[in-house]
C-alpha cells in the first residue's frame, strides 16, 4: 500500500512539474509575441500616435504640422514638387494610424498638404480660419477638443499659427518657433477634458529642412 501511495505521489509531482513547464513555455511564447507585435506597431506607426484603445472618451489626440514646401509666387501658392513629396510622406507615415478628422486653413498649400492623407482615409477636409491672436487660438482649440473627444485629428496650419496651437495644447510647456525654411516639424499632443494637457511632443518627418 505504501509503495502505491508513494508511486501515486511521484506521478502527481511529475504531472504538476509538467504543467509548470508548459505554463512557463506559454508565458515565454506570449512574451515573444508581444515583443513582435510591439515591434510591428513601431514599424507601422513610426510617430508613436496613440491607438484608439489608448484614447479614452474624454481625450483628444492632435497631430499638428505646417503645410509642406510652397512656391514663392502668387497670393495663394501651390506646393512645389518637394512639397508634394512631403504630402505623400505624411500619408505614408499615417497610413496605419486611425484618423477621425482633418482640418486645414482655406489655402492651397495647407489643403494640398493634407489632400493625399484625406483621400487615403476617405475623409473630407474641414476648413478653419487661422487665428490671429493667442486668445483666438485658445477658442479654436477649445472647439476642436469639444468636438473630438475620443478621437484623433490632424491640423495643418502655418509657421505663425502652429506654434500657438501647440503652446495652448501643451499648457505652455512646449514653446516652439518655426522658421520660413522649416517644413519637417510635426507635433503630437494628447488632451483630456478632465485633466487638461497629458503630453505634447515634437518630432520630424520627411526630408530634413534647415
Q: If you ran DSSP here, which 8-state letter would residue 43 be given?
A: H
For residue 84 the three cell numbers come to 508634394
Query: In residues, how long is the chain?
Result: 210
Backbone angles phi and psi of 180, in degrees to 5: -65, -20
Which stretches does DSSP call E strand in the chain? Answer: 59-66, 101-104, 126-127, 151-157, 185-192, 196-204
Beta strands 59-66 and 151-157 are parallel
Better-scored residue on pLDDT, 29 or 84: 84
User: 156 with 67: CB under 8 angstroms?
Assistant: yes
Q: What is the mean pLDDT of the chain?
A: 87
User: 93 with 65: CB under 8 angstroms?
Assistant: no
The pLDDT, as a whole number, for residue 5 is: 47
Torsion of CA 196, 198, 202, 204, to 10 degrees: -120
Mapped onto helix, strand or coil, the DSSP state of residue 153 is strand
Distance in angstroms (rounded) separating the CA atoms of residues 28 and 2: 39
Helix (H) or strand (E) holding 10: helix 2-44
Per-residue model confidence as pLDDT tens digits over 3-25: 444 455 445 444 444 444 445 55
Q: Is the pLDDT at 64 greater than 80, yes or no?
A: yes
Q: If you ran DSSP here, which 8-state letter would residue 54 be given?
A: G
Q: Is the pLDDT at 167 greater than 50, yes or no?
A: yes
The pLDDT, as a whole number, for residue 44 is: 85
Q: Which of 24-33, 42-51, 69-78, 167-176 shows the lowest per-residue confidence on average (mean pLDDT)? A: 24-33
Q: Is the pTM of this model over 0.95?
A: no
For residue 44 the three cell numbers come to 507601422
Amino acid at each position: 500500500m505504501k509503495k502505491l501511495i508513494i508511486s501515486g505521489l511521484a506521478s502527481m509531482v511529475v504531472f504538476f512539474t509538467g504543467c509548470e513547464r508548459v505554463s512557463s513555455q506559454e508565458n515565454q511564447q506570449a512574451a515573444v509575441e508581444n515583443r513582435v507585435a510591439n515591434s510591428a506597431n513601431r514599424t507601422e506607426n513610426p510617430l508613436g500616435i496613440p491607438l484608439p484603445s489608448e484614447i479614452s472618451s474624454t481625450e483628444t489626440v492632435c497631430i499638428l504640422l505646417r503645410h509642406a514646401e510652397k512656391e514663392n509666387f502668387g497670393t495663394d501658392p501651390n506646393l512645389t514638387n518637394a512639397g508634394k513629396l512631403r504630402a505623400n510622406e505624411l500619408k505614408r507615415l499615417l497610413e496605419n494610424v486611425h484618423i477621425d478628422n482633418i482640418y486645414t486653413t482655406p489655402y492651397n498649400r495647407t489643403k494640398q498638404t493634407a489632400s493625399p492623407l484625406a483621400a487615403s482615409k476617405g475623409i473630407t477636409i474641414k476648413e478653419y480660419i487661422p487665428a490671429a491672436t493667442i486668445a483666438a487660438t485658445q477658442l479654436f482649440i477649445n472647439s476642436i477638443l469639444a468636438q473630438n473627444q475620443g478621437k484623433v485629428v490632424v491640423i495643418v496650419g502655418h509657421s505663425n499659427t502652429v506654434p500657438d496651437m501647440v503652446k495652448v495644447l501643451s499648457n505652455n510647456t512646449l514653446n516652439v518657433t518655426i522658421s520660413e525654411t522649416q517644413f519637417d516639424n510635426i507635433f503630437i499632443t494628447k488632451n483630456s477634458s478632465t485633466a487638461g494637457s497629458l503630453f505634447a511632443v515634437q518630432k520630424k518627418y520627411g526630408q530634413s529642412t534647415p
